[in-house]
A and B are shown apart, each in its own frame.
Chain A
Amino acid sequence: MAPEGIGARLQRKEDKRFLTGKGRYTDDVNRAGQTFAVVVRSPHPHARIKGIDAAGAEAMPGVLAVLTGAEAKADGLGGLPAGWMIHSRDGSPMNAPVHPILADDKARYVGDPVALVVAETYAQAKDAADALMVDYEELPANVALDKATAADTPKVFDDIADNRCFDWELGDKAATEKAFSEAAHVTTMDIVNNRLIPNAIEPRAALGDYDSGTDVITLYTTSQNPHVARLVISAFVGLAPEHKLHIIAPDVGGGFGSKIYVYNEEVLCAWASKRLKRPVKWTAERTESFLADAHGRDHVTKAELALDQAGKITGLRVHTLANLGGYPSLFSTAVPTYLYATLLSGQYAIPAIYANVEAVYTNTAPVDAYRGAGRPEATYVVERLVETAARETGADPAELRRKNFVREFPYQTPVIMTYDVGDYEASLDAALKLGDYAGFAERRKESEARGKLRGIGFSNYIEACGIAPSAAVGSLGAGVGLWESASIRFNATGNVYVYTGSHSHGQGHETTFAQLVQSWLGIPEDQVEVIHGDTEKTPMGMGTYGSRSLAVGGSAIYRAAEKIIEKGKKIAAHLLEASEGDIEFKDGKFTVAGTDKAKTIQEIAFAAYVPHNFPPGLEPGLEENAFYDPLNFTFPAGCQICEVEVDPDTGVVEIVNFTAVDDFGTVINPMIVEGQVHGGIAQGVGQALLEGCVYDLESGQLVTGSYMDYCMPRADNLPSFRLGFTTTENPSNPLGVKGCGEAGAIAAPAAVMNAVTDAIGADIQMPATPEKIWRALAARGTAHAAE
């Protein structure tokens, strides 16, 4: 019989509404008296705003307001802050100015919000926005990452002399230098982790709705973490106190990290609504998503790996330049530091590691978390290095990895993390088998016979998920705690609401969380309603990112379920006239141990709300709330093997095999987990082969500003994937789970690029476009001279 509850491939509860057009996304919400807002954005990468003449625009038909930085200042609005303090090597705190809600003195990237126009209709707002006169003094722009700190490079912020946010280090520099000085072999690589634009298919949107009777602002918004948005808009922007801000993130059409950041437009709609006393809606055009959604990645790294004579890795060293764009954003300072350098040990026992990371500002869109956030960058560095070292030393890439795996747990890396459990050899071996590594040589010959170049590449990733123990991240500079909360409410008739602070924007929490409750409390999943995304309905929450929802949010539900059982035992003991210590709970039934006296949990729930004969001290009701703060990060790990075929005539890459074996610990819904892996791999393949954000270095304009130029992975770019799973149960949370949302995107770029470089016999940077490959082949003299 197929399993029910945990482990079941249960079809998703949320699908019916999505498949019938009944999903309710932010732009689908309309309020009586609604007005429409258009954001006027800087057309220049760097410009002083000398003045804004709003008179013409204000006089246009239907226009209700033109708001600028001056009004924001007059209303006392603060800016959007960085959420994680980083200290430089010299002990000084980072330079992190806030992002004003509307540019006050300067605009710092193309797309920086400068004014908000509100009108009765969208077309009227658009017409007036076109007519708004902004007097810009164009300034020279700082666009090239590698020149950002140079003396003659223009300054993004007048008072940050070298455009540097911080110059940070992690690890033992001296020990690492020693390892390199004694190495038998050193692999050195220049590695670019290309800038990406997240491109959730639902563009961001916000709808502010102020109620002058209660003074409450309701904000519908495309957020991954509505409670965090409430905190930021209240505590930092100062628009309204937390209890007068009601944030609703209804159905959200994908996030991938880009909807963590609390954006200007969300604040603008809430603020404008309060000023106008009418609902104000803004929905991004895709062009705006390209310009003003937080971008991802954008690292330039010099990476080195030291090995001894026997092929054991003895040291790893990186210098990384990380682009923060025009302003710091919520997580952006943590991404290239504690989410990156702490994972540089990979799956390997490396005695000495040293990382130096400089983060800089440029006149480009702000960068923040994007699927994996720091961990893809780390995996890419480690796995490109290891694969390249294997090639340079003539070792089999699988065997070099095997030789260096961490095998004893817990394992303390030299870069903060303590890996609690894992079996890297198991996932490697499973992947070798599933991907038929043994048959590769034959397949390569067969490709050669067809004039194609075949290559194979590995990526053995590890990630730190389930962020995170609040004490740990607090000591590292986080501005918030990273717990999660949940509550379980039984109705008198025995069905259940689960309220969670996690947020689902495609992950299927309504299904997975219901499966948990079915397993733990014996309530059929169709009797469980999962509620999320509304700060007035749900308990406190920290939201969904970093593959934390199940490990942290699920564990909070577990704690709440424990409390439900505890309370249920008290009620059962009363009803069954037994002592509480004799009551056992299993499969939805409270039983007096050793007897057949039992009450179902539904009966207990009914009694809890009809407590006609409850004794003094036994509280009515069956509803429990819990907070869970994790004990450790979780460490999903696995192995991907990518096989590609390159057309030497054109440089086009086709992925011909893609194998992924993951250890996510306990899997609640294999169907959903597989879907997460598929999607992650697609984004990783996109980064490796197709996607790359390009700014024109002269003009500072975004060249890849639409789907005409930013290359999204489409169905015909991708193969079907072969997936496998191995399991080591996570000891650090009550579910034994690790998290699965980001693994695919973390591992895939290295697997693909290792395969591509294997096929063409040359190193190139992502994205591996046909032209780059053609040039690399031509340089090697192996490109077909068009036969």
Chain B
Amino acid sequence: MHAFEYHKPSSVADAVAALGKSEDGKLIAGGQTLIPTLKQRLAMPSDVVDLRAIAELKGIREDGGAIVVGAMTTHAEVAESDLVKQAIPALAALAEGIGDPQVRHRGTIGGSIANNDPAADYPGAVVGLGATVHTDKRTIAADDFFTGMFETALAEDEVITAVSFPKPEAAGYAKFPNPASRYALVGVMVAKTGGGVRVAVTGAGPCVFRVPEMESALSGGFSADAVGSVKVPADGLNTDIHASADYRSHLITVMAKRAVKAAGG
């Protein structure tokens, strides 16, 4: 690890100020991706600004028809939250399947989506459930948030404060884990929402994406069979030693069916 200065602000404003003053500062949330990256010297920030002391970023609450998850809420907290389990069980199940227990005890939703690892689970939830990302500056719709591999709509000095998930009528998540890392090789979130059916795929491509063909098929009838014949073309999907694009393409359909079944379809 290269040397850096460490800051632990107690408010979002102080965090933004510390970031602004630094030469090449980086926010640290749960640190479950950033710390391994630093250890391998793949990143060398001048300053690390720790968000864990900021109370306003923590907690899960209900707000109107949505479940609002503070950016510094850990995966374990989401998985174990009675509020989440009752309103959006698919979100609790997704959080329960991220990493391992120790990672879930540290890793946060804000850190996960800001990093936008193509194999992370949370982008699938945010897009699949049609969530809204709140930052210290604005709100960003899920469909506009994830812009590419490890890229988001966030500005350099922008801090995610919360993610609000509208309560779906039904939702299900199915994941085929990478056998080594346990990240998602393919993860599919299917949700029946007020705004229509949404199908989001993570792990398979360079960035989370929706599958309009599946969404329209499910709008016609919310059952596993409806997506069984829809295949996402392999072109543009990821290929690595664990799965070719062809196999990922196949798994998207299989996982979509399982997600629909999990959603009660």
Tally of A interface residues using CB under 8 Å: 24
Supposing A123-B1, A787-B228 touch, asked if A710 and B180 sit within 8 A by C-beta, the answer is yes
Cα distance, A785 to B157, chains bound together (Å): 47
Contact of B180 with A650 in the complex, beta carbons under 8 Å: no
Structural contact, B254 and A694, CB atoms closer than 8 A = no
Q: Chain B residue with minimal CB distance to A778? A: B250
Q: A771-B243, A786-B228, A787-B228 are in contact. Are A650 and B251 (CB under 8 A)?
A: yes
Question: A708 contacts B257, CB within 8 Å?
Answer: no
**A130 within 8 Å of B by Cβ?**
yes
B228 lies within 8 A of A694 (CB): no
Residues of B within 8 A of A787 (CB): 224-225, 228, 257
**Residue picked from B180, B224, B253, most chain A C-beta under 10 Å:** B180
Contact A709:B253 (CB < 8 A) given known A650-B176, A769-B179? no
Residue of B3, B241, B253 near A786 (CB, 8 A) is B253
Q: Is the CB of A694 within 8 A of B241?
A: yes
* Contacting residues of chain B (175-207) with chain A, CB-CB under 8 angstroms: 176, 178-181, 183
Given known A-B contacts A769-B242, A771-B244, A707 and B228 have beta carbons under 8 A apart: no
Kindly list chain A residues whose C-beta atoms are within 8 Å of the C-beta of B250.
774, 786
Q: Does any Cβ of B come within 8 Å of A593's Cβ?
A: no
| Cβ < 8 Å to B, chain A residues 682-722 | 690, 694, 703-704, 707-712
Q: In the complex, which residues of chain A have a beta carbon less than 8 angstroms from the beta carbon of B2?
A: 127
Residues of B contacting A: mostly: loop
Q: How far is the CB of A40 from chain B (nearest CB, A)?
A: 14
Q: How far is the CA of A775 from the CA of B181 in the complex (A)?
A: 22
Contact between chains at B247 and A771 (CB < 8 Å): yes
Cβ contacts under 8 Å, A562 to chain B = none
> B41 at the A/B interface (Cβ < 8 Å)?
yes
Contact of A707 among B3, B181, B254 (CB under 8 A): B181
Residue of A nearest to B183 (CB): A708
A774 to B246, CA, bound (A): 11
Q: Which of A137-191 contact B (CB under 8 A)?
A: none
Chain A 245-259, CB-CB to B under 8 Å as 1, else 0, gives: 000000000000000
- CB B172 to nearest CB in A, in angstroms, measures 16
Inter-subunit contact A707/B243 (CB<8 Å) = no
User: With A650-B176, A708-B180, A769-B179 known to touch, is A786 a contact of B247 (CB < 8 Å)?
Assistant: no
Tell me, rounded to whole Å, the shortest Cβ–Cβ distance linking A371 to chain B.
20
Interface centre among A126, A287, A690, A770 (most CB of B within 10 A): A770
Q: Contact: B180 with A709, CB < 8 Å?
A: yes
Q: Which residues from B are CB-within-8-Å of A130?
A: 41
Contact of A242 with B by CB under 8 A: no
Question: What class of interface size applies to chain B in its complex with A?
Answer: 20 to 34
- For B253, list chain A residues within 8 Å (CB): 786
Q: Let me know if B180 and A712 touch, CB within 8 A.
A: yes
- A423 interfacial contact with B, CB 8 Å: no
Interface flag for A308 (CB, 8 Å): no
Q: How far is the CB of A484 from chain B (nearest CB, A)?
A: 39
- Which among A123, A707, A775, A786 is the interface contact of B257 at CB below 8 angstroms? A786
Taking a contact as CB atoms under 8 Å apart, the answer to whether B1 and A709 are in contact is no
C-beta contact mask, A721-763 vs B, less than 8 Å → 1, else 0?
0000000000000000000000000000000000000000000
CB-CB under 8 A for A703 and B251, given A650-B176, A710-B180, A712-B180:
no
* Residue on A nearest B244 in the bound complex, by CB: A771
Q: Chain B residues near A707 (CB, 8 Å)?
A: 180-181
Neighbouring A residues of B243 by C-beta, 8 Å: 771
Contacts of B40 in A (CB 8 A): 287
B254 to chain A, nearest CB (A): 5
Q: Which residues 206-265 in B have Cβ within 8 Å of A in the complex?
A: 224-225, 228-229, 231, 241-244, 247, 250-251, 253-254, 257
Given the complex of chains A and B, what is the CA–CA distance between A787 and B41 in angstroms?
46
Q: How far is the CA of A704 from the CA of B41 in the complex (A)?
A: 19
A708 close to B241 (CB less than 8 A): no
Contacts of A566 in B (CB 8 A): none
Set of chain A residues within 8 Å of B244, measured between Cβ atoms? 771
Whether B180 and A649, one on each chain, are in contact in the complex, defined by CB atoms closer than 8 angstroms, is no
Q: Nearest CB to that of A714 among chain B residues? A: B182
Interface mask (A405-427 → B, CB under 8 Å = 1, otherwise 0): 00000000000000000000000
Residues on A with C-beta less than 8 A from B180 are 690, 704, 707-712
Contacts of B242 in A (CB 8 A): 709, 769, 771
Q: Which chain A residues border B176 with CB–CB below 8 Å?
A: 650
Q: How does the 8 Å CB contact mask read for A36-80 relative to B, with 1 for contact and 0 for none?
A: 000000000000000000000000000000000000000000000
Q: Which residue of A lies closest to B2 (CB)?
A: A127
Chain B residue numbers with a CB within 8 Å of A694 are 241
- CB under 8 Å from chain B, chain A span 289-303: none
Q: How far is the CB of A212 from chain B (nearest CB, A)?
A: 34
Q: Mark A766-787, 1 if CB is under 8 A from B, else 0.
A: 0001110011000000000011
The contact of B179 among A127, A287, A690, A774, by CB within 8 Å, is: A690
Chain A residues with CB under 8 Å of B1's CB are 123
Q: How far is the CB of B33 from chain A (nearest CB, A)?
A: 11
List residues of chain A with CB within 8 A of the CB of B229: 786
CA distance A771 to B179 in the complex (A): 11
> Which of B229, B253, B254 counts the most A-chain CB atoms under 10 A from its CB?
B254
Are B257 and A703 in contact, CB atoms less than 8 angstroms apart? no
A786 and B181 in contact, given A650-B176, A771-B243, A774-B247 (Cβ under 8 angstroms): no
Residues of the B chain whose Cβ atoms lie less than 8 Å from the Cβ of A709: 180-181, 241-242
Interface string of B118-157 (1 = CB under 8 A from A): 0000000000000000000000000000000000000000
Contact A786 B254 (CB under 8 A): yes
A-B contact pairs, 28 of them (CB 8 A): A123-B3, A126-B41, A127-B2, A130-B41, A650-B251, A650-B254, A694-B241, A707-B180, A707-B181, A708-B178, A708-B180, A708-B183, A709-B181, A709-B241, A709-B242, A710-B180, A711-B180, A712-B180, A770-B247, A771-B242, A774-B247, A774-B250, A775-B247, A786-B231, A786-B253, A786-B257, A787-B224, A787-B257
| Sample of 8 further A-B pairs with CB below 8 A, known A650-B176, A708-B183 | A127-B2, A130-B41, A649-B254, A708-B178, A708-B181, A712-B180, A775-B247, A787-B228
**Which A residues form the contact surface with B (CB < 8 A)?**
123, 126-127, 130, 287, 649-650, 690, 694, 703-704, 707-712, 769-771, 774-775, 786-787
Nearest 8 Cβ contacts at the A-B interface: A711-B180, A708-B181, A786-B253, A771-B247, A711-B179, A649-B254, A786-B254, A694-B241
B residues lining the A interface (CB < 8 Å):
1-3, 40-41, 176, 178-181, 183, 224-225, 228-229, 231, 241-244, 247, 250-251, 253-254, 257
